[in-house]
């Protein structure tokens, strides 16, 4: 695993880059391989590939707005990304899980930022459902990385042996 030094946990940016590359490559593939809302069943009744565009944020929040949301979400992603890089730089050597979490969120944020700025929408293609009765909104690799990173961040907050803390 990358070690911290003068640059904090910045070596974890390799994970951000990996998430970004896989995200962009998969979006490019599915955007060219599928037509809008076409479904390719992978696991019947549970999992499909499909192509959908999201002009909003998570769960299509503000997708119906007039277009201003594109730049608002882009600005938010830029600010969050800058904060994450600074945070990574300031991490201590023992904060590996936190570094991994931040790197995942950063890679996902940058992946969706590129879509939003270049195309005006985010390309989604993963569809989880249950017997055609329940559908989770379509998402992509960037969304999955952001979600996993957020879960790791939450778990990190509850760790009992954080540096500087004493356990009873």
Under 8 Å between Cβ of 130 and 45: yes
Q: H helices then E strands: how many in the chain? A: 4, 4
Residue 2: alpha-carbon gap to chain centroid: 21
The DSSP element (H or E) to which 126 belongs, if any, is strand 122-130
N-term to C-term CA, the chain: 30
168/153 Cα distance (integer angstroms): 23
Calpha distance 81→147 (Å, rounded): 15
Distance (Å, whole) CA 11 – CA 15? 9
DSSP assignment letter at 167? -
Active-site residue identified among 23, 31, 115, 143: 143
pTM: 0.83
Is there a catalytic annotation at residue 143? yes
Per-residue pLDDT of the chain (168 residues; tens, 9 = 90+): 555 456 668 889 999 999 999 999 999 999 999 999 999 999 998 999 999 998 766 555 555 555 566 678 788 889 999 999 999 999 988 899 999 999 999 999 999 999 999 998 899 999 998 877 777 889 999 999 999 999 999 998 887 555 555 444
124 catalytic? Reply is yes
How far from chain centre, in Å, is Cα 73?
14
């Amino acid at each position: 695993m990358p070690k911290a030094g003068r640059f904090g946990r910045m070596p974890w940016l390799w994970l951000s880059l990996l998430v970004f590359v896989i995200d962009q490559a998969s979006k490019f593939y599915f955007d060219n391989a599928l037509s809008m809302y076409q479904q390719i069943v992978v696991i019947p009744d549970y999992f499909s590939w499909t192509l959908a565009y999201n002009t909003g944020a998570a769960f299509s929040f503000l997708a119906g707005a007039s277009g201003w949301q594109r730049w608002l979400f882009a600005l938010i992603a830029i600010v969050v990304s800058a904060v994450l890089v600074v945070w990574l730089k300031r991490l201590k050597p023992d904060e590996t899980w936190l570094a991994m979490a931040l790197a995942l969120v950063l890679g996902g944020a940058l992946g969706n930022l590129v879509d939003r700025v270049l195309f005006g929408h985010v390309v989604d293609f993963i569809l989880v459902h249950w017997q055609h009765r329940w559908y989770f909104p379509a998402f992509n690799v960037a969304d999955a990385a952001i979600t996993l990173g957020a879960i790791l961040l939450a778990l990190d907050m509850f760790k009992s042996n954080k540096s500087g803390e004493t356990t009873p």
